[in-house]
Structure 1
Amino acid sequence: MKQGFDVEFEGERLKSHDYLIFKHKPRKVVIAGDNDQPDLLMDACVGAQVLVHEAAYTEEMAQKAGDVGHSYAKLVAAFAETVQLPNLVLTHFSPRYQLHPFASPSIEDIRKEAQSDYSGSLYLARDFGEYTLDKAGRFAEVAGE
């Protein structure tokens, strides 16, 4: 039971969750691929600490995003705010958004747009980026070597 398994005892099924007290609530991460309708994830995001979601574009490209089944930063950020997700990781950016912050358009345009609608901790994924989610539900990016 201590390992979370139900057991049979004297012909009765004993459910482990009826007898265990957990020190920490379960951790939950939702990872979404190409999706132009983040609202479809509403039920999945209940109780989650982190949403990882593609945001290929900014709102300026909303029509194109929808045409190709992608999201844009403002749409995903507004959804994450609505469901009160504490951490949002945006990923799968269009190559049109350059890494150099002074380029136009820039990945910073995606960050700024998301931050305008989202009050939680925002992360823009990068190749080989690493993150942690500890037992207490604290999420953080692991510093590079």
Structure 2
Amino acid sequence: MTIQHRTVDIEAASKLWKDDLSASQIAKRFGVSRNVIVGIAFRNRAFFPEKQRSKSTRPHKAAPAPRKVETRKPYTPHEREPVPVNDYDVRRLPYAKRLEDLLPGECKWPLNSGGPYLFCAAKAAGKYCEHHQSRALASQRITKRGQA
């Protein structure tokens, strides 16, 4: 058979096929692509008996070991302990506001841990007033030291 300006002898190819050579190896001998040999084998099934398919050569992927329930920590949305209340927070409580009542430039530091949540509402340059800004930075430093 003439394909791609080359001649592939079907009988010779079928003998190589029966000798258990792969389509790629047969293609190299005839100077054609693997797909040409596969196509010829498909069209001339009488000459090319079906080969036993071998199992995958990929290594078997082992199933991961089941996780032990005892070793898992239960999920808690707030893993860090809340910052403890101090005297400043207690003095700010009468002036505290709910979140929806806060205006721009007021401190957004929560003063209590139950509903309705109340926030500091002191004058602030950013999110927090000077006092709460320093406490936030101090708690970050403590957290970073604990991780190291």
Relative to the length of structure 2, the TM-score reads: 0.22
Give the structure with the larger helix fraction. Answer: 2
**For the pair shown, which has the larger CA radius of gyration, 1 or 2?**
2
Give the structure with the larger strand fraction. Answer: 1
Q: Which has the higher contact order (CA 8 A, sep 6+)?
A: 1
Relative to the length of structure 1, the TM-score reads: 0.23
